[in-house]
Amino acid sequence: MFKNPPRIFGHKSALDNGNFVTLDYILNKDQDDFTLMHRFCPHRRFPIDAPGKVVNELTCKFHGFKWDSKGNPINNDKKLSCGKISCGESNLVFKNFEEPSHSWVKDLKEESNLKYSHSYFGKSQGSWLWFMDVNTDLLHVYKQGIHPFLSQQIDLEDIKMEHGSNWILQSHPEGWWCCIFPFTFIEYGRPGKLGINTVVPNNLNNEFGFQWMTQIYYDDRTTPNEKLIFETLEEVFKEDIGAAELQQGPYFPLHCASNRYEDHCVIWGDWVKNNRI
């Protein structure tokens, strides 16, 4: 559907204590080098450990095949590693993405004490293109709408909207939301709170059916009450997924915004039109 789209895999702190497992890959850090490995055994496609875990021993429990931490085979002849990935100034680990010189990158760069906490997961038979469209849409944040609780926390008049070639940013007094097209939604709460939501389509050539994973990061300053409030974002994701599942038929881009709160929907739609193959 898209040729070489940006992929955001997580924050580098998830690799502080070993390899980090995502929905479709395992991430490895060796000094300043970051490597991508397949999560599914190349022999019979059995999953090598569960997403969200930090692991040091890579073993396929189906036939007992083992690899070292870099994906080199120990008792078989099949390599797991499948290429290098980059770590940007933001400390995000990614592929096919050129980090902008922007305040959101600086915010994450200054968060030097983040630690991986845990992850949430889910599945949907809806359209992941509609789901990203919902993530870019501020107009649906109102008291009687999809996000009644969020509308009590955020005043839309306070939100500043910006965008780049393949991302949009929505800043508010407590932090910001950033979509990196086409698979990633990031929420930052200042100070010391980060959520990275990634979508993995069941079939890259079909918009219907996807899995999602939300990674949560905190620093030691974050109180239990702050964590409780920040993690309401997970309920917001579920509300967005529910909205995307109710939207009928294939995704179609919005050509004109009814007001400024839909501007980022138009930007997302333009990106889809210009990059779809």
Q: Does any domain span residue 92?
A: no
Predicted structure pTM score? 0.93
Q: Are residues 177 and 242 in the same domain?
A: yes
CA 16 to chain centre: 19
- Size of the chain, expressed as the number of residues it contains: 277
Q: Does any domain span residue 226?
A: yes
Residue 84, CA atoms < 13 Å, CB-side half-sphere = 5
Can you tell me the distance from the alpha carbon of 106 to that of 264, in angstroms, rounded to the nearest whole number? 22
Burial 211-245 (b: 16+ CB within 10 A, else e): bbbbbbbbeeebeeeeeeebbebeebbebbbebbe
Average pLDDT estimate for 61-88: 91
Examine the fold and report which residue of 65, 87, 109 is the final residue of a domain before the chain moves on.
Answer: 87
Which CATH number fits the domain that encloses residue 80? Answer: 2.102.10.10
Examine the fold and report which residue of 22, 54, 87 is the final residue of a domain before the chain moves on.
Answer: 87
Can you tell me the distance from the alpha carbon of 144 to that of 62, in angstroms, rounded to the nearest whole number? 50
Can you tell me the distance from the alpha carbon of 70 to that of 58, in angstroms, rounded to the nearest whole number? 9
How much is the pLDDT for 149? 63
Q: Are residues 83 and 105 in the same domain?
A: no
**pLDDT band of 225, cuts 50, 70, 90:** very high
Compare 274 and 156 and report the one with higher pLDDT. Answer: 274
Examine the fold and report which residue of 66, 87, 108 is the final residue of a domain before the chain moves on.
Answer: 87
Q: Are residues 230 and 152 in the same domain?
A: yes
Angle subtended at Cα 225 by Cα 221 and Cα 230, rounded to the nearest 5 degrees: 85
Residue 86 has pLDDT above 70, yes or no: yes
How much is the pLDDT for 139? 86
- Domain encompassing residue 161: 100-275
Q: Are residues 11 and 60 in the same domain?
A: yes
Q: Does any domain span residue 146?
A: yes
Q: Does any domain span residue 93?
A: no
Q: What is the mean pLDDT of the chain?
A: 92
How much is the pLDDT for 130? 96
Backbone angles phi, psi at 218, to 5 degrees: -135, 160
Residues of the chain above pLDDT 70, percent: 97
**pLDDT band of 81, cuts 50, 70, 90:** confident
Q: Does any domain span residue 219?
A: yes
Which CATH number fits the domain that encloses residue 269? Answer: 3.90.380.10
Can you tell me the distance from the alpha carbon of 88 to that of 103, in angstroms, rounded to the nearest whole number? 14
Phi-psi region of 250 (alpha: psi -120 to 50; beta: other; left: phi over 0): beta
Q: Are residues 211 and 264 in the same domain?
A: yes
Residues of the chain above pLDDT 90, percent: 79
- pLDDT tens profile 233-243: 888 888 899 99
**pLDDT band of 152, cuts 50, 70, 90:** low
**pLDDT band of 32, cuts 50, 70, 90:** confident
- pLDDT tens profile 135-147: 999 888 777 767 7
Taking the CA atoms of 245, 251, 256 and 260 in sequence, report the sign of the dihedral they define: positive
Q: Are residues 226 and 141 in the same domain?
A: yes
Q: Are residues 77 and 128 in the same domain?
A: no
Phi-psi region of 52 (alpha: psi -120 to 50; beta: other; left: phi over 0): left
For the CA atoms of 97, 92, 105, 109, the dihedral, rounded to the nearest 10 degrees, stands at -150
Can you tell me the distance from the alpha carbon of 80 to that of 161, in angstroms, rounded to the nearest whole number? 41
How much is the pLDDT for 151? 62
How much is the pLDDT for 148? 66
